Amino acid sequence: MAYSDKVVEHAENPRNVGTLDKNDPNVGTGLVGAPACGDVMRLQIKVGEDGVIEDAKFKTFGCGSAIASSSLATEWLKGKSLEEASQIKNVQIVEELNLPPVKIHCSVLAEDAIKSAIEDYRKKRAAKPKA
Partner 1 sequence: MSVKLPIFMDYHSTTPVDPRVLAEMLPYFTEKFGNAASRSHSFGWVAEEAVEYARERIAKFIGAQSEKEIVFTSGATESDNLALKGVAEFYKDKGNHIITCVTEHKAILDTCKRLEKEGFTVTYLPVDKQGLVSAEQVRQAITDKTILVSLMLANNEVGSVHPLEEIGKVTREKGVLLHSDAVQGVGKVEFDVQKMNVDLASITAHKMYGPKGVGALYVRRSKPRVRIVAQMDGGGHERGNRSGTLNVPSIVGFGKAAEIMMQEGREESQKLFGLRERLRTRIMDKLEEVYINGSMERRLPGNLNLSFTCVEGEAMMMAIKDVAVSSGSACTSASLEPSYVLRALGVGDELAHSSIRFGLGRFTTQDEVDYVADLVIAKVNHLRDMSPLWEMHKEGIDLKTVQWTAH
Residues assigned a catalytic role: 37, 106
Least CB distance to partner 1 at residue 114 (A): 14
Of 98, 93, 48, the residue nearest 74 (C-alpha): 93
The 67-96 site mask, x for binding partner 1 (CB under 8 A), equals: x-----------------------------
46 contributes a contact to partner 1 by CB under 8 A: no
Q: Which CB atom, from 23 or from 84, has the smaller least distance to partner 1?
A: 23
Of 107, 91, 105, the residue nearest 10 (C-alpha): 107
Kindly report each contact of residues 92-97 with a partner whose C-beta sits within 8 Å and lies 24 or more positions away, as own/partner. 93/69, 96/6, 96/72, 97/4, 97/6, 97/7, 97/10, 97/65, 97/68, 97/69, 97/72
Q: Within positions 17 to 36, which residues make up the interface with partner 1, using CB under 8 A? A: 17, 19, 31-36
60 contributes a contact to partner 1 by CB under 8 A: yes
Quote the CA–CA distance of 91 and 5 in Å, as a whole number. Answer: 18
Binding site for partner 1 (CB under 8 A): 1, 3, 8, 11, 14, 17, 19, 31-42, 58-64, 66-67, 102, 105, 108-109, 112
